[in-house]
Chain A
């Protein structure tokens, strides 16, 4: 049962992608929409038996087509993978609502858009399940290429350039990763992440391989100073694409970094490298927030905010404790929800104003109250103010830092929160309390489709509710901590 469900997670979106492509252009709205809705809702259902299995039996693996390691590919489900699968399913379904509104399946745009979107979705699920170094490479390429196609889908010059820049860096990054995989295979004769981890020791070659793979993945996850591609790409992509990019796509490469670091090389004692990664994260927090403060466009502010928020996920390396890990995962989940909500609200605003210049947003709380409310709620979680998932993530990270007398990290986390408050309140002040507001915003051309606004609000609410529903998530994580974690 779980095997079929796992296969469904990967192949349902892929088959749906083919089906949308194969639909004759005159088939009308219904079949295409039905296929898309099915593949958006499907993962939510398919995850139920998997969750039950994990809850009752603990982490489990699946050998694809019965080939055993080292030759065969193994899928492995543990708490971290499951939580990210859920995040992807939830964010994907709700962002999909907005995507359906702006890219109807019966139109030309929709027929270009949905195969890529579904490819991205299937690739992401496969990536999260995979425990095979090379398979991770393939799925990551799948995700990246689909994402690049989606960024460029409307053919706007700015988006095309951003996509191109992203593509060049991403290709270079995958080559670095692939080189690392080759070296590790040469050492161990296996591609299975766990098997390789058991035989490897921190000698020169394995460390070189790890560094190569990490460098590549840091580019893909846009960790400072390798973030240069992200703001343009996320800021210029179509609304739903920005949402899924910031919520999921950059996260999955961090997910691979975590896998390599904590599962493949758990006992390598790379404290210097860990501290370096932490420092990169800290710089990202400050740099991203400060740049977010100076942006002129709403979506660019949110994109730079992503650069900053990703920095928190790097702090788990120097802190390296169970509490820190739980905090980082919690931060990842709530940031995924909140950031997707923010980008969707921004897309709705962009749609109805035709611009997202921060100076033109005055008086929006009268005309688009739901979207502004979404921005505010998601902002609470991004700032890490209680009660929200962001707060709990920050609380856990702070506690972890305190336990190790990491005062510098505590200061970074708290100061980062203050900086994020500065840019979130800048947005809110611009939308609600602009001095030249004088009543209503007259630039509004059309109201955004109601389902899109509701879906964004739902995501923002979930980010807040995450502040109260930590018990099952942390319980799962407690049982699925990386090995050798104090």
Chain B
């Protein structure tokens, strides 16, 4: 198993866990964590694409990943703010339509 395969497999596994979490988790914080996991998987893949080749790694994908991380951080921040607001308004941090059925966390 060379390192490329390892990276790709790790990324795929992370992405899978992320998708699973996004669908299964009820609490919004968990959903967000799952999303971030998916994001990390994508970033790993992109870094893998970047090399290293014979004359060093390609800097462009790394720059892209940096930008991607910045965007992911800001999107997560927005999501957290929304979640907090939602919690203050409804007393819950879930998206269920009939909130009473779901487990309530302190978010």
Contact = CB atoms under 8 A, between A and B. Distances in A.
Interface of A: 70-71, 134, 138, 141, 145, 148-149, 152, 155-157, 160-161, 163-165, 167-168, 171-172, 174-175, 178-179, 181-183, 185-186, 189, 191
B61 A185 contact: yes
Interface of B: 22, 28, 31-32, 35, 38-39, 42, 45-46, 49, 58, 60-61, 64, 67-68, 71-72, 74-75, 78-79, 82-83, 85-86, 89-90, 95
A179 B22 CA distance: 18
B42 A152 contact: no
A141 to B, nearest CB: 5
Contacts of B31: 168
Given A71-B60, A182-B61, A185-B60, A160 B89 contact: yes
A172 B35 contact: yes
Contacts of B68: 178
B85 A152 contact: yes
28 contacts: A70-B60, A138-B67, A141-B71, A145-B78, A155-B89, A157-B89, A160-B82, A160-B85, A160-B89, A164-B83, A168-B22, A168-B31, A168-B32, A171-B72, A171-B75, A171-B79, A172-B35, A175-B35, A175-B38, A178-B42, A178-B46, A179-B42, A179-B45, A179-B46, A182-B61, A182-B64, A185-B49, A191-B64
Contacts of B71: 138, 141, 174
B71 to A, nearest CB: 5
A231 to B, nearest CB: 14
A168 B79 CA distance: 8
Contacts of A71: 60
Contacts of A134: 64, 67
A182 B45 contact: yes
Instruction: List 9 tightest A-B contacts by C-beta distance, closest first.
Output: A186-B49, A182-B46, A160-B86, A157-B89, A179-B42, A157-B90, A141-B71, A175-B42, A171-B35
B27 to A, nearest CB: 12
Contacts of A138: 67, 71
B26 to A, nearest CB: 13
A167 B79 contact: yes
Contacts of B22: 168, 172
Contacts of B32: 168
Contacts of A168: 22, 31-32, 35, 79
B35 to A, nearest CB: 5
Contacts of A149: 78
